Amino acid sequence: MTITKLVMVRHGESQWNRENRFTGWVDVDLSDQGRVEAKRAGKILKNKGFIFDRGYTSVLKRAIHTLWLIIDELDQAWLPIRKHWRLNERHYGMLQGLNKAETIKKFGNDKVQQWRRSLNVAPPKIINNENLGYDLRYMNNGLNQLPDSESLSSTINRVRLCLNYNILPNIKRGRKLVIVAHGNSIRAMIVLLNNLKDEEEIFQLNVPTATPLIYEFDDKMQIVSHYFLNLN
């Protein structure tokens, strides 16, 4: 039986992760710690003998730079990379840029947790999208109207298209893929791959930064196992 492995990695710590802010689609870069985490992930993958055929990432630089650092550690700078907005983090609407602790004080922990973790409740819509403006990364990739907020369910639906039409067909061909994305877009892929239905189970999903998550598929595209790589 041939096993094909898919590797998913949440980007390393960003500047706003460090400042405990909601980030969403705001294009914040990695912190110094995030770059260290990304390099560590690359070293772990190299020590485990991973060699990839293709890379996928979002169009946000914290994910792009994490992938660059990983493939640099793997000495695979030649790796073809596809960047897709459907792998972006969930859009947090007007919460973007706000400190999470201060937001909890203002709206209450239950409300904020509902915005963050429930399937169908989206945060309050952003008043305008001027911070994204006329952005060629989206306009040239079929996104004519930028979102003003997203629920986890709507994030899952957009990730589904990338998974079904880009990622899974490549795995079916036996290609070894590495995907660097975000906490919620990877959570969406876990929900889709594992066919999760229980909202509480989805609520409890946690994706640590820069920790490779491995999915193993057999010849019939059935998942054999999935696990995080030990960082020690």
In degrees, to the nearest 5, what angle opens at C-alpha 182 toward C-alphas 13 and 108?
80
18 within 8 A of 203, measured Cβ to Cβ? no
CA distances from 43 to 62, 80, 118, 209 (A): 18, 20, 35, 15
How far is CA 131 from each of CA 11, 29, 65, rounded to the nearest angstrom?
Answer: 22, 16, 21
Q: What angle do CA 82, 165, 222 make, to 5 degrees?
A: 110
Enumerate the active-site residues. 11, 89
DSSP 14: B
In the DSSP assignment, the letter for residue 91 is P
